[in-house]
A and B are shown apart, each in its own frame.
Chain A
Amino acid sequence: MKMDLEQLRKTAAEVVARDDVKYLVGWKQGTYGYRVAPGFVEDAAGAAELIFSPLCTANLATYLTLVEELPIPRGQEPDDRKVAVMVKGCDSRAVTQLIVEKGIKKDEVVVIGCPCPGVVDPNLLAEKYPETEDQVEMKWNGEGFLLLRGGEETKIARDEVLAEKCRLCRYPNPVYSDIMLGDPVEPWETDEDKGVEEVEGKDVEERAEYWAEQFDKCVRCYSCRNVCPLCYCQDCVLDRLNPTWVNRAVNFSENTAFNIARAFHLGGRCIECGECERVCPANIPLGKINRKLAREVRDKYGFEPGVDPDAEPFQASFKPDDPEEFIL
Protein backbone atom coordinates (compact mmCIF):
# COMPACT_ATOMS: atom_id res chain seq x y z
CA MET A 1 0.00 0.00 0.00
CA LYS A 2 1.17 3.49 -0.69
CA MET A 3 0.07 6.25 1.59
CA ASP A 4 0.20 9.32 -0.49
CA LEU A 5 1.38 12.16 1.75
CA GLU A 6 0.39 14.72 -0.87
CA GLN A 7 -3.16 13.51 -0.84
CA LEU A 8 -3.23 13.41 2.96
CA ARG A 9 -1.99 16.97 3.30
CA LYS A 10 -4.30 18.22 0.57
CA THR A 11 -7.31 16.62 2.20
CA ALA A 12 -6.29 17.96 5.61
CA ALA A 13 -5.91 21.47 4.20
CA GLU A 14 -9.35 21.22 2.61
CA VAL A 15 -10.89 20.04 5.85
CA VAL A 16 -9.37 22.76 8.03
CA ALA A 17 -10.37 25.35 5.48
CA ARG A 18 -14.01 24.44 6.02
CA ASP A 19 -16.02 26.95 8.04
CA ASP A 20 -17.49 24.29 10.26
CA VAL A 21 -14.15 22.81 11.35
CA LYS A 22 -12.32 24.15 14.38
CA TYR A 23 -9.08 22.25 13.99
CA LEU A 24 -7.70 18.95 12.85
CA VAL A 25 -5.73 16.49 14.91
CA GLY A 26 -3.16 14.57 12.95
CA TRP A 27 0.33 13.22 13.32
CA LYS A 28 3.42 15.31 12.75
CA GLN A 29 7.14 14.76 12.97
CA GLY A 30 8.34 14.75 16.57
CA THR A 31 11.21 16.73 17.98
CA TYR A 32 13.84 14.03 17.61
CA GLY A 33 14.50 10.38 16.87
CA TYR A 34 11.54 8.12 16.30
CA ARG A 35 9.12 10.46 17.99
CA VAL A 36 5.87 11.43 16.39
CA ALA A 37 3.79 14.12 18.05
CA PRO A 38 0.10 14.84 17.76
CA GLY A 39 -0.34 17.89 15.57
CA PHE A 40 -3.15 20.38 16.01
CA VAL A 41 -3.73 21.94 12.64
CA GLU A 42 -5.68 25.12 12.06
CA ASP A 43 -4.47 26.21 8.64
CA ALA A 44 -2.94 25.01 5.41
CA ALA A 45 0.59 25.63 6.69
CA GLY A 46 -0.02 23.26 9.55
CA ALA A 47 -1.55 20.71 7.23
CA ALA A 48 1.69 20.65 5.24
CA GLU A 49 3.49 19.26 8.29
CA LEU A 50 1.25 16.25 8.72
CA ILE A 51 2.58 12.78 8.18
CA PHE A 52 1.34 9.25 8.30
CA SER A 53 3.98 6.62 8.81
CA PRO A 54 4.61 3.36 10.66
CA LEU A 55 5.74 5.51 13.59
CA CYS A 56 2.26 7.00 14.05
CA THR A 57 1.28 4.79 16.95
CA ALA A 58 -0.72 7.35 18.93
CA ASN A 59 -4.47 7.04 18.98
CA LEU A 60 -5.68 10.56 18.37
CA ALA A 61 -9.31 9.80 19.15
CA THR A 62 -8.46 10.50 22.77
CA TYR A 63 -8.22 14.21 21.99
CA LEU A 64 -11.91 14.28 21.14
CA THR A 65 -12.82 14.00 24.80
CA LEU A 66 -9.71 15.38 26.47
CA VAL A 67 -10.43 19.06 25.99
CA GLU A 68 -11.65 20.67 29.20
CA GLU A 69 -15.05 22.31 28.97
CA LEU A 70 -14.89 25.72 30.56
CA PRO A 71 -17.94 27.81 31.28
CA ILE A 72 -18.66 30.13 28.39
CA PRO A 73 -18.31 33.79 29.40
CA ARG A 74 -21.51 35.73 29.35
CA GLY A 75 -22.27 37.22 25.97
CA GLN A 76 -20.16 34.72 24.06
CA GLU A 77 -21.51 32.02 21.80
CA PRO A 78 -20.27 28.46 22.27
CA ASP A 79 -17.91 27.30 19.54
CA ASP A 80 -19.91 24.52 17.91
CA ARG A 81 -17.51 23.83 15.10
CA LYS A 82 -16.39 20.30 14.44
CA VAL A 83 -13.10 18.71 15.31
CA ALA A 84 -11.43 16.70 12.57
CA VAL A 85 -9.37 13.72 13.55
CA MET A 86 -7.17 11.32 11.63
CA VAL A 87 -7.65 7.71 12.56
CA LYS A 88 -6.16 4.34 11.84
CA GLY A 89 -8.28 1.23 11.86
CA CYS A 90 -8.05 0.70 15.61
CA ASP A 91 -8.54 4.39 16.36
CA SER A 92 -11.70 4.48 14.30
CA ARG A 93 -13.15 1.85 16.59
CA ALA A 94 -12.58 4.23 19.48
CA VAL A 95 -14.53 6.90 17.63
CA THR A 96 -17.32 4.43 16.95
CA GLN A 97 -17.42 3.35 20.56
CA LEU A 98 -17.54 6.99 21.65
CA ILE A 99 -20.51 7.49 19.35
CA VAL A 100 -22.18 4.38 20.79
CA GLU A 101 -21.73 5.71 24.31
CA LYS A 102 -22.85 9.18 23.27
CA GLY A 103 -19.49 10.52 24.46
CA ILE A 104 -19.43 12.44 21.20
CA LYS A 105 -22.00 12.98 18.52
CA LYS A 106 -21.51 12.02 14.90
CA ASP A 107 -21.96 15.59 13.76
CA GLU A 108 -19.33 16.92 16.15
CA VAL A 109 -16.46 15.23 14.37
CA VAL A 110 -14.97 14.81 10.95
CA VAL A 111 -13.25 11.47 10.85
CA ILE A 112 -10.47 11.06 8.31
CA GLY A 113 -9.70 7.38 7.96
CA CYS A 114 -6.23 6.12 7.12
CA PRO A 115 -6.01 2.44 6.22
CA CYS A 116 -3.06 1.15 8.21
CA PRO A 117 -0.76 -1.72 7.29
CA GLY A 118 0.49 -1.89 10.88
CA VAL A 119 2.67 0.37 12.98
CA VAL A 120 5.92 -0.33 14.76
CA ASP A 121 6.59 -0.76 18.43
CA PRO A 122 8.94 2.16 19.19
CA ASN A 123 10.61 0.23 22.01
CA LEU A 124 11.35 -2.75 19.81
CA LEU A 125 12.60 -0.46 17.09
CA ALA A 126 14.89 1.45 19.46
CA GLU A 127 16.22 -1.80 20.82
CA LYS A 128 17.29 -3.03 17.41
CA TYR A 129 18.11 0.27 15.75
CA PRO A 130 19.21 2.66 18.51
CA GLU A 131 17.48 6.00 18.51
CA THR A 132 19.57 9.06 17.75
CA GLU A 133 18.80 12.73 18.00
CA ASP A 134 18.22 12.91 14.24
CA GLN A 135 14.69 13.03 12.98
CA VAL A 136 13.90 10.04 10.86
CA GLU A 137 11.43 9.15 8.22
CA MET A 138 9.81 5.78 8.08
CA LYS A 139 7.79 4.21 5.35
CA TRP A 140 5.92 1.07 4.57
CA ASN A 141 7.91 -0.87 2.07
CA GLY A 142 6.14 -3.84 0.55
CA GLU A 143 5.84 -6.36 3.36
CA GLY A 144 8.24 -4.51 5.65
CA PHE A 145 9.39 -1.08 6.67
CA LEU A 146 11.93 1.35 5.36
CA LEU A 147 13.86 3.54 7.77
CA LEU A 148 15.42 6.69 6.35
CA ARG A 149 17.95 8.35 8.59
CA GLY A 150 20.64 10.82 7.60
CA GLY A 151 20.63 9.76 3.96
CA GLU A 152 20.82 6.09 4.90
CA GLU A 153 18.09 3.62 4.07
CA THR A 154 17.51 0.57 6.21
CA LYS A 155 15.08 -2.17 5.29
CA ILE A 156 13.41 -3.72 8.27
CA ALA A 157 11.40 -6.90 8.17
CA ARG A 158 7.82 -6.53 9.28
CA ASP A 159 7.90 -9.18 12.01
CA GLU A 160 10.97 -7.66 13.56
CA VAL A 161 9.41 -4.47 14.85
CA LEU A 162 5.64 -4.73 14.31
CA ALA A 163 3.68 -3.67 17.38
CA GLU A 164 1.94 -6.47 19.22
CA LYS A 165 -1.46 -4.87 18.85
CA CYS A 166 -0.98 -4.87 15.08
CA ARG A 167 -0.06 -8.52 14.98
CA LEU A 168 -3.46 -9.19 16.53
CA CYS A 169 -5.27 -6.53 14.54
CA ARG A 170 -8.40 -7.55 12.70
CA TYR A 171 -9.48 -4.09 11.65
CA PRO A 172 -6.64 -2.44 9.74
CA ASN A 173 -9.15 -0.37 7.80
CA PRO A 174 -11.21 2.29 9.54
CA VAL A 175 -14.67 0.95 10.37
CA TYR A 176 -16.09 4.42 10.50
CA SER A 177 -14.99 7.50 8.66
CA ASP A 178 -16.29 10.55 6.86
CA ILE A 179 -13.37 10.80 4.48
CA MET A 180 -11.24 7.83 3.52
CA LEU A 181 -7.67 8.29 2.37
CA GLY A 182 -6.08 5.83 -0.02
CA ASP A 183 -7.12 2.28 -0.73
CA PRO A 184 -8.10 -0.22 1.92
CA VAL A 185 -5.41 -2.65 2.98
CA GLU A 186 -5.84 -6.39 2.95
CA PRO A 187 -6.40 -7.68 6.50
CA TRP A 188 -3.71 -10.12 7.49
CA GLU A 189 -3.67 -13.44 9.27
CA THR A 190 -3.62 -12.73 12.97
CA ASP A 191 -1.48 -14.63 15.40
CA GLU A 192 -2.75 -16.35 18.47
CA ASP A 193 -2.70 -13.96 21.40
CA LYS A 194 0.41 -15.45 22.94
CA GLY A 195 0.67 -12.85 25.70
CA VAL A 196 -2.73 -13.62 27.10
CA GLU A 197 -2.37 -17.34 26.62
CA GLU A 198 0.90 -17.40 28.44
CA VAL A 199 -0.72 -15.86 31.50
CA GLU A 200 -3.78 -18.05 31.17
CA GLY A 201 -1.52 -21.08 31.12
CA LYS A 202 -0.25 -20.35 34.61
CA ASP A 203 -2.12 -21.55 37.66
CA VAL A 204 -3.84 -19.08 39.95
CA GLU A 205 -0.91 -18.64 42.30
CA GLU A 206 1.59 -18.10 39.51
CA ARG A 207 -0.74 -15.58 37.96
CA ALA A 208 -1.09 -13.75 41.25
CA GLU A 209 2.67 -13.67 41.52
CA TYR A 210 3.08 -12.47 37.94
CA TRP A 211 0.65 -9.60 38.36
CA ALA A 212 2.01 -8.75 41.80
CA GLU A 213 5.37 -8.15 40.20
CA GLN A 214 3.79 -6.08 37.44
CA PHE A 215 1.48 -3.97 39.60
CA ASP A 216 4.23 -3.37 42.10
CA LYS A 217 6.02 -1.32 39.45
CA CYS A 218 3.04 0.97 38.91
CA VAL A 219 3.76 4.57 39.86
CA ARG A 220 0.13 5.61 39.48
CA CYS A 221 0.83 8.37 37.01
CA TYR A 222 -2.60 7.67 35.50
CA SER A 223 -1.22 7.93 31.99
CA CYS A 224 -2.97 4.67 31.06
CA ARG A 225 -6.26 6.19 32.07
CA ASN A 226 -5.66 9.59 30.53
CA VAL A 227 -4.44 8.31 27.20
CA CYS A 228 -7.36 5.93 26.82
CA PRO A 229 -9.86 7.36 24.36
CA LEU A 230 -12.61 5.62 26.29
CA CYS A 231 -11.66 6.85 29.76
CA TYR A 232 -13.31 10.22 29.59
CA CYS A 233 -15.30 10.60 32.81
CA GLN A 234 -15.12 14.18 34.05
CA ASP A 235 -14.85 12.92 37.59
CA CYS A 236 -13.09 9.57 37.69
CA VAL A 237 -14.18 7.25 40.47
CA LEU A 238 -10.55 6.37 41.07
CA ASP A 239 -9.78 10.04 41.81
CA ARG A 240 -12.59 10.50 44.26
CA LEU A 241 -11.84 11.12 47.90
CA ASN A 242 -15.35 11.15 49.27
CA PRO A 243 -15.84 8.21 49.34
CA THR A 244 -12.34 6.94 48.70
CA TRP A 245 -12.48 3.73 46.73
CA VAL A 246 -8.81 3.49 46.03
CA ASN A 247 -6.37 5.08 48.45
CA ARG A 248 -3.72 7.45 47.18
CA ALA A 249 -0.99 5.37 48.75
CA VAL A 250 1.12 3.64 46.15
CA ASN A 251 1.54 0.06 47.24
CA PHE A 252 0.76 -3.28 45.80
CA SER A 253 -2.74 -3.43 47.25
CA GLU A 254 -3.94 -0.07 46.00
CA ASN A 255 -2.16 -0.48 42.67
CA THR A 256 -3.93 -3.77 42.10
CA ALA A 257 -7.26 -2.28 43.02
CA PHE A 258 -6.59 0.62 40.69
CA ASN A 259 -5.54 -1.57 37.79
CA ILE A 260 -8.41 -4.03 38.17
CA ALA A 261 -10.90 -1.20 38.41
CA ARG A 262 -9.44 0.50 35.37
CA ALA A 263 -9.53 -2.68 33.36
CA PHE A 264 -13.03 -3.51 34.50
CA HIS A 265 -14.35 -0.15 33.46
CA LEU A 266 -13.07 -0.93 30.00
CA GLY A 267 -14.75 -4.32 29.90
CA GLY A 268 -16.74 -4.57 26.69
CA ARG A 269 -15.47 -1.14 25.71
CA CYS A 270 -11.76 -1.60 25.05
CA ILE A 271 -11.01 -1.43 21.37
CA GLU A 272 -7.48 -2.78 21.74
CA CYS A 273 -5.53 0.18 20.44
CA GLY A 274 -2.76 -0.65 22.89
CA GLU A 275 -2.18 2.93 23.98
CA CYS A 276 -2.25 2.16 27.70
CA GLU A 277 0.53 -0.31 27.30
CA ARG A 278 2.56 1.99 25.10
CA VAL A 279 2.47 4.98 27.44
CA CYS A 280 3.05 3.11 30.69
CA PRO A 281 6.36 4.36 32.10
CA ALA A 282 6.63 1.20 34.17
CA ASN A 283 6.02 -1.09 31.19
CA ILE A 284 3.15 -2.95 32.78
CA PRO A 285 1.55 -5.22 30.17
CA LEU A 286 -1.87 -3.65 30.52
CA GLY A 287 -2.80 -4.78 27.06
CA LYS A 288 -2.92 -8.35 28.25
CA ILE A 289 -5.65 -7.60 30.78
CA ASN A 290 -7.64 -5.57 28.33
CA ARG A 291 -7.35 -8.12 25.57
CA LYS A 292 -8.25 -10.94 27.91
CA LEU A 293 -11.43 -9.15 28.90
CA ALA A 294 -12.21 -8.25 25.31
CA ARG A 295 -11.79 -11.88 24.34
CA GLU A 296 -14.08 -13.08 27.10
CA VAL A 297 -16.69 -10.59 26.01
CA ARG A 298 -16.34 -11.66 22.40
CA ASP A 299 -16.42 -15.39 23.09
CA LYS A 300 -19.02 -15.51 25.83
CA TYR A 301 -21.33 -12.70 24.89
CA GLY A 302 -20.69 -12.38 21.18
CA PHE A 303 -20.07 -8.68 21.52
CA GLU A 304 -17.39 -6.59 19.94
CA PRO A 305 -17.11 -2.92 20.87
CA GLY A 306 -16.47 -0.13 18.43
CA VAL A 307 -17.64 -1.89 15.30
CA ASP A 308 -21.24 -0.84 14.95
CA PRO A 309 -22.13 2.79 15.71
CA ASP A 310 -25.73 1.78 16.38
CA ALA A 311 -24.95 -0.93 18.93
CA GLU A 312 -25.98 -0.84 22.59
CA PRO A 313 -23.16 -0.28 25.07
CA PHE A 314 -22.13 -3.65 26.46
CA GLN A 315 -22.25 -2.95 30.17
CA ALA A 316 -25.49 -1.01 29.91
CA SER A 317 -27.40 -3.76 28.17
CA PHE A 318 -28.05 -7.44 28.55
CA LYS A 319 -29.45 -10.46 26.83
CA PRO A 320 -31.82 -12.77 28.66
CA ASP A 321 -29.64 -15.70 27.72
CA ASP A 322 -26.30 -14.33 28.89
CA PRO A 323 -24.10 -17.11 30.25
CA GLU A 324 -24.69 -17.86 33.90
CA GLU A 325 -22.96 -21.15 34.53
CA PHE A 326 -20.88 -19.49 37.20
CA ILE A 327 -23.94 -18.67 39.27
CA LEU A 328 -24.64 -20.96 42.18
Chain B
Amino acid sequence: MSAEFNPNIVAFLCNWCSYAGADLAGTSRVNYPSNIQIIRVMCSGRVNPLYVMNALQQGADGVLVSGCHPGDCHYMEGNFFARRRLGMLKDLMEFVGVDPKRFHMSWVSASEGHKWKEVVEKTVEDAKEAGPFEGFRRRQIDW
Protein backbone atom coordinates (compact mmCIF):
# COMPACT_ATOMS: atom_id res chain seq x y z
CA MET B 1 0.00 0.00 0.00
CA SER B 2 1.51 3.29 -1.06
CA ALA B 3 -0.68 5.69 0.87
CA GLU B 4 -0.77 5.03 4.57
CA PHE B 5 -3.90 3.29 5.76
CA ASN B 6 -6.03 5.55 7.89
CA PRO B 7 -8.37 3.44 9.96
CA ASN B 8 -11.83 4.54 11.02
CA ILE B 9 -12.24 4.18 14.73
CA VAL B 10 -15.55 4.52 16.48
CA ALA B 11 -15.24 5.38 20.16
CA PHE B 12 -18.06 5.12 22.66
CA LEU B 13 -17.18 7.43 25.55
CA CYS B 14 -18.96 7.75 28.82
CA ASN B 15 -20.36 11.19 29.41
CA TRP B 16 -18.86 11.72 32.84
CA CYS B 17 -15.23 10.65 32.60
CA SER B 18 -13.90 9.65 29.22
CA TYR B 19 -15.74 12.28 27.23
CA ALA B 20 -14.55 14.92 29.63
CA GLY B 21 -11.09 13.39 29.43
CA ALA B 22 -11.10 13.68 25.66
CA ASP B 23 -12.36 17.21 26.04
CA LEU B 24 -9.51 18.01 28.37
CA ALA B 25 -7.07 16.56 25.86
CA GLY B 26 -8.52 18.96 23.31
CA THR B 27 -8.47 22.04 25.50
CA SER B 28 -4.94 21.24 26.67
CA ARG B 29 -3.86 21.07 23.04
CA VAL B 30 -2.70 17.49 23.29
CA ASN B 31 -2.07 16.12 19.83
CA TYR B 32 -3.64 12.78 19.08
CA PRO B 33 -4.67 10.97 15.88
CA SER B 34 -7.80 12.28 14.24
CA ASN B 35 -9.03 8.89 13.04
CA ILE B 36 -11.42 8.65 15.91
CA GLN B 37 -15.15 9.32 15.75
CA ILE B 38 -16.53 9.90 19.20
CA ILE B 39 -20.03 8.86 20.18
CA ARG B 40 -21.00 10.03 23.63
CA VAL B 41 -23.05 7.67 25.73
CA MET B 42 -24.23 8.24 29.26
CA CYS B 43 -22.27 5.36 30.72
CA SER B 44 -19.96 2.66 29.41
CA GLY B 45 -22.50 0.23 30.85
CA ARG B 46 -24.92 1.51 28.24
CA VAL B 47 -22.78 0.21 25.41
CA ASN B 48 -24.73 -2.65 23.94
CA PRO B 49 -22.56 -5.21 22.17
CA LEU B 50 -24.79 -4.63 19.17
CA TYR B 51 -23.33 -1.12 18.96
CA VAL B 52 -19.89 -2.59 18.54
CA MET B 53 -21.04 -5.05 15.92
CA ASN B 54 -22.97 -2.43 14.05
CA ALA B 55 -19.96 -0.12 13.98
CA LEU B 56 -17.87 -2.89 12.48
CA GLN B 57 -20.61 -3.77 10.02
CA GLN B 58 -20.93 -0.22 8.85
CA GLY B 59 -17.29 0.43 8.14
CA ALA B 60 -15.34 0.91 11.36
CA ASP B 61 -11.89 -0.68 11.41
CA GLY B 62 -11.71 -0.53 15.15
CA VAL B 63 -13.92 0.18 18.12
CA LEU B 64 -13.01 1.72 21.44
CA VAL B 65 -15.19 1.80 24.53
CA SER B 66 -14.04 4.00 27.34
CA GLY B 67 -15.50 4.67 30.75
CA CYS B 68 -14.69 5.78 34.27
CA HIS B 69 -12.20 3.92 36.41
CA PRO B 70 -13.78 1.15 38.48
CA GLY B 71 -15.39 2.72 41.49
CA ASP B 72 -15.69 6.13 39.87
CA CYS B 73 -18.81 5.43 37.84
CA HIS B 74 -21.36 8.20 38.00
CA TYR B 75 -24.00 5.51 38.27
CA MET B 76 -21.99 3.62 40.90
CA GLU B 77 -21.52 0.35 39.03
CA GLY B 78 -22.23 0.78 35.31
CA ASN B 79 -18.63 0.29 34.29
CA PHE B 80 -18.41 -2.98 36.24
CA PHE B 81 -21.17 -4.38 34.10
CA ALA B 82 -19.49 -3.01 31.00
CA ARG B 83 -16.24 -4.68 31.98
CA ARG B 84 -17.89 -8.04 32.34
CA ARG B 85 -19.96 -7.86 29.18
CA LEU B 86 -17.40 -6.36 26.89
CA GLY B 87 -14.70 -8.65 28.17
CA MET B 88 -16.91 -11.49 27.13
CA LEU B 89 -17.62 -9.84 23.80
CA LYS B 90 -13.92 -9.49 23.16
CA ASP B 91 -13.39 -13.20 23.76
CA LEU B 92 -16.31 -14.03 21.53
CA MET B 93 -15.21 -11.81 18.68
CA GLU B 94 -11.73 -13.17 18.86
CA PHE B 95 -13.16 -16.66 18.62
CA VAL B 96 -15.18 -15.89 15.51
CA GLY B 97 -12.18 -14.37 13.81
CA VAL B 98 -12.25 -10.65 14.54
CA ASP B 99 -8.73 -9.48 15.25
CA PRO B 100 -8.55 -8.56 18.95
CA LYS B 101 -6.59 -5.48 17.91
CA ARG B 102 -9.81 -4.02 16.59
CA PHE B 103 -11.59 -3.79 19.87
CA HIS B 104 -10.32 -2.00 22.92
CA MET B 105 -11.65 -0.85 26.19
CA SER B 106 -10.11 1.68 28.49
CA TRP B 107 -10.66 3.61 31.68
CA VAL B 108 -10.00 7.30 31.19
CA SER B 109 -11.00 9.76 33.87
CA ALA B 110 -11.91 13.40 33.33
CA SER B 111 -8.43 14.51 34.33
CA GLU B 112 -6.51 12.09 32.16
CA GLY B 113 -6.08 14.04 28.94
CA HIS B 114 -2.72 12.46 28.43
CA LYS B 115 -3.95 8.97 29.03
CA TRP B 116 -6.61 9.59 26.42
CA LYS B 117 -3.90 10.46 23.94
CA GLU B 118 -2.09 7.23 24.73
CA VAL B 119 -5.25 5.18 24.44
CA VAL B 120 -6.12 6.68 21.08
CA GLU B 121 -2.60 6.23 19.79
CA LYS B 122 -2.60 2.61 20.85
CA THR B 123 -6.03 1.98 19.32
CA VAL B 124 -5.13 3.60 16.03
CA GLU B 125 -1.78 1.88 15.87
CA ASP B 126 -3.40 -1.50 16.52
CA ALA B 127 -6.10 -0.91 13.94
CA LYS B 128 -3.40 0.06 11.44
CA GLU B 129 -1.61 -3.16 12.14
CA ALA B 130 -4.82 -5.14 11.67
CA GLY B 131 -5.51 -3.38 8.40
CA PRO B 132 -8.84 -2.50 6.82
CA PHE B 133 -11.67 -4.52 8.31
CA GLU B 134 -13.06 -6.77 5.63
CA GLY B 135 -14.69 -9.36 7.86
CA PHE B 136 -18.40 -9.06 8.20
CA ARG B 137 -18.64 -5.53 6.93
CA ARG B 138 -21.87 -4.86 5.06
CA ARG B 139 -20.52 -5.27 1.63
CA GLN B 140 -22.46 -4.16 -1.36
CA ILE B 141 -21.53 -6.97 -3.67
CA ASP B 142 -25.02 -8.30 -4.04
CA TRP B 143 -26.80 -4.97 -4.18
Looking at the assembled complex, report how far the CB atom of B104 sits from the nearest CB atom of chain A, in whole angstroms: 6
Across the interface, B92 reaches (CB within 8 A) one of A237, A257, A260, A324, namely: A260
Question: Across the interface, which residues of A come within 8 angstroms of B104, CB to CB?
Answer: 328
- Identify which of residues 50-94 in chain B touch chain A, using a CB-to-CB cut-off of 8 Å: 50, 53-54, 57, 70-71, 77, 80-81, 83-85, 87-94
Given A253-B137, A264-B92, A289-B95, verify A245-B105 contact (CB < 8 Å).
Answer: no
A204 at the interface (CB under 8 A from B): yes
Q: CB-nearest residue of chain A relative to B120?
A: A328
Given A315-B85, A318-B81, verify A260-B53 contact (CB < 8 Å).
Answer: yes
Q: CB-nearest residue of chain A relative to B78?
A: A318
Question: Across the interface, which residues of B come within 8 angstroms of A252, CB to CB?
Answer: 136, 139
B49 at the interface (CB under 8 A from A): yes
CB atoms of B94 and A267 under 8 A apart: no
CB atoms of A209 and B88 under 8 A apart: no
Given A256-B96, A260-B93, verify A267-B88 contact (CB < 8 Å).
Answer: yes
Question: Across the interface, which residues of B come within 8 angstroms of A253, CB to CB?
Answer: 57, 136-139
As a 0/1 sequence over residues 113 to 143 of chain B, the CB contacts with chain A under 8 angstroms (1 = contact) are 0000011001100000000000111110010
CB atoms of A318 and B87 under 8 A apart: no
As a 0/1 sequence over residues 88 to 114 of chain B, the CB contacts with chain A under 8 angstroms (1 = contact) are 111111111111100011110000000
Question: Across the interface, which residues of A come within 8 angstroms of B98, CB to CB?
Answer: 204, 208
Q: CB-nearest residue of chain B relative to A300?
A: B87
CB atoms of B95 and A324 under 8 A apart: no
CB atoms of B84 and A256 under 8 A apart: no
The size of the chain B interface, using a CB distance under 8 A, is 41
A66 at the interface (CB under 8 A from B): no
Given A257-B136, A264-B89, A328-B122, verify A207-B84 contact (CB < 8 Å).
Answer: no
CA distance A256 to B32 in the complex (A): 33
Q: CB-nearest residue of chain A relative to B90?
A: A326
Q: CB-nearest residue of chain B relative to A207?
A: B97
As a 0/1 sequence over residues 186 to 227 of chain A, the CB contacts with chain B under 8 angstroms (1 = contact) are 000000000000011000111111111001000000000000
Across the interface, B88 reaches (CB within 8 A) one of A199, A259, A296, A324, namely: A296
Looking at the assembled complex, report how far the CB atom of A211 sits from the nearest CB atom of chain B, in whole angstroms: 5
CA distance A251 to B143 in the complex (A): 11
Given A322-B87, A326-B87, A327-B83, verify A207-B50 contact (CB < 8 Å).
Answer: no
CB atoms of A208 and B77 under 8 A apart: no
Question: Across the interface, which residues of A come within 8 angstroms of B90, CB to CB?
Answer: 326
Question: Across the interface, which residues of A come within 8 angstroms of B139, CB to CB?
Answer: 251-253
Question: Across the interface, which residues of B come within 8 angstroms of A257, CB to CB?
Answer: 50, 53-54, 57, 136
Q: CB-nearest residue of chain B relative to A321?
A: B70
Interface core residue of A200, A261, A264, A292 (most chain B CB under 10 Å): A264
A111 at the interface (CB under 8 A from B): no
CA distance A267 to B138 in the complex (A): 25
CB atoms of A293 and B92 under 8 A apart: yes
Question: Across the interface, which residues of A come within 8 angstroms of B97, CB to CB?
Answer: 204-212
Q: CB-nearest residue of chain A relative to B136?
A: A256
- Identify which of residues 235-289 in chain A touch chain B, using a CB-to-CB cut-off of 8 Å: 237, 245-247, 251-254, 256-257, 259-261, 263-264, 267-268, 289
As a 0/1 sequence over residues 30 to 52 of chain B, the CB contacts with chain A under 8 angstroms (1 = contact) are 00000000000000000001100
Q: CB-nearest residue of chain B relative to A323?
A: B87
Q: CB-nearest residue of chain B relative to A257?
A: B53
Across the interface, A208 reaches (CB within 8 A) one of B53, B87, B96, namely: B96
CA distance A39 to B1 in the complex (A): 62
CA distance A318 to B70 in the complex (A): 11
Question: Across the interface, which residues of A come within 8 angstroms of B136, CB to CB?
Answer: 212, 215, 252-253, 256-257
Across the interface, B95 reaches (CB within 8 A) one of A256, A292, A328, namely: A292
Interface core residue of B91, B92, B97 (most chain A CB under 10 Å): B97
Given A211-B97, A253-B139, A328-B106, verify A237-B83 contact (CB < 8 Å).
Answer: no
A73 at the interface (CB under 8 A from B): no
Besides A208-B98, A254-B57, A315-B85, 9 more A-B contacts (Cβ < 8 Å) are A208-B97, A253-B136, A253-B138, A264-B88, A264-B92, A293-B88, A324-B70, A324-B83, A328-B119
